[in-house]
């Protein structure tokens, strides 16, 4: 089971120099992406409720810049879907068949957009790629490769001119004062 990190002071009685009694002290150091070492002061199982779903999860007090860093395992248990392009997280609780009512997602997902039809040239190029790449594969592997290529055919560039349709994305990583 993974962990999540929380900055001292976010939870009640965790901002002072003394670790509250319910927390287990640790001598662990966290190394950041910049190489800085941060103390992991303590850990504790915390009950967290999101969209009516309560889970117990281990949080560690860490001297981090953000209020909280939620671990991937906890997001997965919540049924989270991260949409980077919209900078949003959708939480869809796991269905509880013991209850009579139906849970609604915390946010609504946008309706799926149908994929536009591909030009015949693209379809032919993807098929040719499949034929070249599937030699030496058994029947099941050939079918899996075909499914993968067909499902992602809109990502392939057939001509050099197709590559100019991609926009450059630049990311800046704020390392604070590191």
pLDDT exceeds 70 at position 101: no
Exposure b/e, 110-133, CB count within 10 A at least 16 = b: eeeeeeeebeeebeebbeeebeee
Decide which of 135 and 49 is more confident. 135
> What region does 100 belong to: left with phi over 0, alpha with psi -120 to 50, or beta?
alpha
Among residues 90, 60, 85, which one has the least CA distance to residue 75?
Answer: 90
pTM of the complete model: 0.47
The predicted pLDDT at position 96 comes to 46
Provide mean pLDDT across the span 96-108.
Answer: 46
For the cut 60, the answer to whether the pLDDT of residue 98 exceeds it is no
Residue 150: per-residue pLDDT = 85
pLDDT score, position 139: 92
> How far, in Å, CA of 114 to CA of 111, rounded?
9
| Res. 99 pLDDT band, cuts 50 70 90 | very low
Task: Give the residue among 6, 138, 21 at the shortest CA–CA distance from 66.
Answer: 6
| Length reported for the chain | 178
Using a pLDDT cut of 70, give the percent of the chain over it: 77
**In terms of pLDDT, which residue wins out, 51 or 128?**
128
Q: What is the reported pLDDT for 43?
A: 93
């Amino acid at each position: 089971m993974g962990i999540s990190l929380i900055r001292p002071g976010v939870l009640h009685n965790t901002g002072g120099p003394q670790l509250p009694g319910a927390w287990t002290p640790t001598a662990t150091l966290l190394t950041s992406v910049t190489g800085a070492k941060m103390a992991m002061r303590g850990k504790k199982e915390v009950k967290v409720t999101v969209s009516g779903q309560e889970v117990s999860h281990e949080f560690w007090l860490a001297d981090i810049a953000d209020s909280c860093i939620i671990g991937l395992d906890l997001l997965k248990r919540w049924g989270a879907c991260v949409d980077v392009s919209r900078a949003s997280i959708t939480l869809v609780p796991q269905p509880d068949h013991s209850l009579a009512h139906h849970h609604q997602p915390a946010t609504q997902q946008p309706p799926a957009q149908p994929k536009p039809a591909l030009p015949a040239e693209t379809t032919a190029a993807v098929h040719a790629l499949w034929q070249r790449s599937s030699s030496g594969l058994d029947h099941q592997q050939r079918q899996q490769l075909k499914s993968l290529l067909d499902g992602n055919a809109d990502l392939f560039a057939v001509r050099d001119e197709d590559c100019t349709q991609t926009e450059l994305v630049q990311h800046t990583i704020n390392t604070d004062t590191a």
